[in-house]
Amino acid sequence: MLVAASSGPTPSGALSVRTHAAFVELARVDRAKALLETSDWPLARAAERAGFGSLDALHRAFLRRLNATPGEYRQRFNAVSRRV
């Protein structure tokens, strides 16, 4: 099922996410990023709260979307926020 094609701008300004599954994964990754930035929860709890079925699923999604593991993302974010 296509949500929106990415072959150019759409009149309605729809997201260029190809499938429903990709849209859901992107929303879950965004939620997990926010949790990793604002909490000190274990990664498994952040994965669960973001809607991932397992820590492994979170790990794979982060590698696919961000080219980093959840732990690496948290370390990078914390390193940047400490400099500010």
**Full set of structural domains in the chain with CATH:** 24-83 (1.10.10.60)
> Given this model, what pLDDT does residue 8 score?
47
Dump pLDDT digits (tens) for 2-45.
Answer: 444 444 454 444 555 579 999 999 999 999 999 999 999 999 99
Asked if 47 contacts 39 with a C-beta cutoff of 8 angstroms, the reply is no
For the beta carbon of residue 70, count every other beta carbon within 10 angstroms: 25
> Given this model, what pLDDT does residue 18 score?
79
Distance separating alpha carbons of residues 64 and 61, to the nearest angstrom:
5
pTM of the model: 0.74
Dump pLDDT digits (tens) for 58-71.
Answer: 999 999 999 999 99
Asked if 33 contacts 23 with a C-beta cutoff of 8 angstroms, the reply is no
Is it the case that residue 79 has pLDDT exceeding 80?
A: no
